[in-house]
Amino acid sequence: MNKKSRSAIGIVGILLGILWLFPFYLIVTNSFKTPKGIFASVLSLPHPSTGTNYVNSFHALNFITSLTNSLIITVCSVLVIILASSMAAYALQRNHSKLSSALLMLFISAMLIPFQSVMIPLTANFGAVHFLNMWGLVVMYLGFDCSLSVFLYQGTLSSIPIAMDESAELEGASRWQIFTKVIFPMLSPITVTVAILNIIAIWNDYLLPSLVLPQAQYTIPLQMFNFFGEYTKQWHLALAGITISIIPVILFYLFAQKWIIKGVTDGAVK
């Protein structure tokens, strides 16, 4: 490629990058304005700028509580999904029978069922046994998200030779020891993928937790929804709230970007 066309491509790239970032620019700059400032000019930089929007929306969002709830639910669900799915995939992959292929098909077919088809009976059943809370939610996430995770683990397991199991067995290891000491450590690349995919999905989920969680256990998206309903047309507060609530996600992205890109690619391609 010659120099001219290379710099032309660079310029197109920069322009598109600016276009992509422009919404973030508008949200962040306006979150520092007074209501009057937003009314006067949306496109300009904040002048005078104020931090009170952040103080107010931080309290209105109950941010520490909702951040903690989001963290507990996401971390617990992802750990449970990783452990249970890798175990299931191990059992299915090391058993070459019609039964295990039928069970794998069962997992895959569950992926085709949209959430709306199960939502009402699901919440009714869990409600009947008083499990409409964050622990019930963890079980639900295991049910909804294990299919893809089992499928991903199953693919990777097929590349780990069965000789590994057999030699450990000869040394007298139990099935559980073989799995935890020999097999699971070898799965860590795909474990990262499973973790990333589930973290993104669960952290951002709205509809399911909105049907399940009591107000004291509200996560960030649920709190944002309530907050937005209360402060409609008060954009100065709403924008500060949006900025606060996306900061954890952006930090996580910038920190774990390499794994996220790999995880997202694996999840879609495999």
Residues numbered 50 to 109 that lie near another protein (CB under 8 A) are: 80, 83-85, 87-88, 90-92, 94-95, 97, 99-100, 103, 106-107
Tell me if 21 contacts another protein by CB under 8 A.
yes
Pick from 27, 60, 72, 186 the residue near another protein by CB under 8 A: 27
Residues numbered 149 to 188 that lie near another protein (CB under 8 A) are 150, 175-176, 179
Segment 225 to 264, residues that bind another protein, using CB under 8 A: 225, 228, 235, 238-239, 242, 245-246, 249-250, 252-254, 257, 260-261, 264
147 binds another protein (CB under 8 A): yes
29 Cβ contact list (under 8 Å, min separation 6)? 44, 45, 46
With binding defined as CB under 8 A, does residue 269 bind another protein? Answer: yes
Least Å distance between CB 195 and another protein?
15
Shortest CB 242 distance to another protein, Å: 6
- Our finding on whether 122 is near another protein (CB under 8 A) is yes
Please say whether the beta carbons of 202 and 77 come within 8 A. yes
At 213, list the tokens: 């969680």
Nearest residue to 57 via CA among 241, 245, 247: 241
Nearer to another protein, 38 or 168 (CB): 38
Q: Which residue among 67, 132, 146, 197 contacts another protein (CB under 8 A)?
A: 146
Q: Which residues of 192-206 are buried (b: 16+ CB within 10 A; e: fewer)?
A: bbbbbbbbbbbbebe
- 184 to 223: interface string for another protein, x by CB under 8 A: ----------------x--xxxxx-------------x--
Least distance from another protein to the Cβ atom of residue 78, Å: 14
CB–CB of 165/195 below 8 Å?
A: no
Kindly tell me which of 60 and 264 has the beta carbon lying closer to another protein.
264
The least CB distance from residue 127 to another protein, in Å, is: 10
Is residue 114 near another protein by the rule CB under 8 A?
Answer: yes
Shortest reach from residue 16's CB to another protein, in Å = 7
Shortest separation between residue 92's beta carbon and another protein, angstroms: 7
CB of 51 to another protein, least distance (A): 19
